Structure 1
Amino acid sequence: MTSKEIRAQVPPMIIWMADATIKEARRGITGKTGWKDIKRHPYNIPEVEMAGEVLGRMFNECAAGIRQALIDMPEEMDGVHDYSNLNYFDEFVASLEKRHTANLREADWILERC
């Protein structure tokens, strides 16, 4: 699915929350978090782990694929700066499509109650 198709099916608040999660993960990947801790591989940064779990509830993709798509996004998308020609959500979907198809996850009501 393209970003435009996803936007047609998903409420704007969900897109906004996904965009905020993607920005936070990109901030961690580029090191603009303000934390002065040990250097880790971007895959293991807490912000990226959290984004993998959160976005995994939206997309039919495992957390590992989502983490890699976050890492593969353009370098200038550092999570701090907004660009008029680049949208974090749209670029994430494009990055996810390069690896797999970006499909929305269908709700599993039995698992959602837990």
Structure 2
Amino acid sequence: MTLRDHVLEVLHTLRPLGAIKARYCMGQTATLIYHDRVMGVVSLDGLFIKSDEVNDPVFDRIGAARFLPRLASANIHRFPFRKVPAEAQHCSKAMLEWARLGIEAVERETLPA
């Protein structure tokens, strides 16, 4: 499956959650945008959803990996995205539940003044 096909599949599945757009970036990744804020990342490695101090324990319980882009510099800031379980990436209902965690994290963010 190509990245484009994967992104289109994810967007189709997440359609019930409202207006989510994708922007291609960083080579083989695309960010998922919800109300002008990044709520997820799609890559050929899977779907990653925004995490924060509230939903991190949910991701920790399943041992969800963090999204770390392949950058030349080892000195990178924390990328707050966690991998959705493989079984949820092939189940619409489960994917929606994980994506809701990302939307909730985005809604908890404070925007810079």
The verdict on a shared fold, with TM-score over 0.5 as the criterion, is no
Higher relative contact order (CA 8 A, sep 6+): 1
Question: TM-score, normalised on structure 1?
Answer: 0.31
Task: Give 1 or 2: higher strand fraction.
Answer: 2
Larger Rg: 1
Question: TM-score, normalised on structure 2?
Answer: 0.31
Task: Give 1 or 2: higher helix fraction.
Answer: 1
